[in-house]
Amino acid sequence: MQGELFQVEEPAVAGLLLVPDSVTPAQEAELAARIDAAPLEPFQFGQWRGKRMTTHYGRAYDFSRHRLDDAPPMPEWLERVRDRIAPLAGMDPAQFQAALLIRYDPGAGIGWHRDRPQYGEVLGLSLGAPAVFRLRRRTETGFERRNVNLPARSLYRLSGEVRWDWEHSIVPMDVRRWSITFRTLRA
């Protein structure tokens, strides 16, 4: 059933919600085209440039100044996506004031990280190809690790334990994929 909400069971990580088939294949193709048409630039982390192509709307974290800055307002099409998918994850769309579009060309991934603490809840829409969403958290003896399969067109929500205690990453893949990330802002 499209957009059916359920808690991820295996491997269980508190606070992780997964909604498979949250958009149709036709919507997925349209969203990928809209991301490609956006003003994408290589991800910038201080002086380092990543392989993934990104653009921000609403609010964006400036890694060189270590703070949130204003970004262009969300275009109407992106607000419509937010308004449609946030309820699938049990959230009020108006809470999500920051959006990030990403195109992962072949060979691009995203390293281990936790979203900046200025952001709260995180919604991610995975498009174009299935991916493995890797999770880890530090323990006294190393890392506890989990892998979650992200089917194409799936939506995930990070809140609570998985948002604050776990890092996540996606290894580079041989195919192109896209994602849209929406975030709430913390006071």
Sequential pLDDT tens for the chain (187 residues):
455 554 444 436 999 999 999 999 999 999 999 999 999 988 866 666 678 899 999 978 766 666 678 899 999 999 999 999 999 999 999 999 999 999 999 999 888 989 888 889 999 999 999 999 999 999 999 999 999 999 999 999 999 999 999 999 998 999 999 999 999 998 7
Phi, psi of 81 (to 5 degrees): -65, -50
- Would the pTM of this model clear 0.75, i.e. be above it? yes
What per-residue string of b and e applies to 123-153 under the rule 16 or more CB within 10 Å gives b? bbbbbbeebebbbbbeeeeeeeebebebebb
Instruction: Identify the CATH homologous superfamily for domain 6-185.
Output: Alpha-ketoglutarate-dependent dioxygenase AlkB-like (2.60.120.590)
Q: What number of residues does the chain have?
A: 187
What per-residue string of b and e applies to 160-171 under the rule 16 or more CB within 10 Å gives b? eebbeebbbebe
Cα 167 to Cα 112, 144, 158, 162, distances in angstroms: 6, 10, 11, 8
- What single-letter DSSP state applies at residue 87? G
Cα 64 from Cα 122, distance rounded (Å): 22
**Preceding omega of 11 cis (within 30 degrees of 0):** yes
Q: Is 33 helix (H, G, I), strand (E, B) or coil?
A: helix
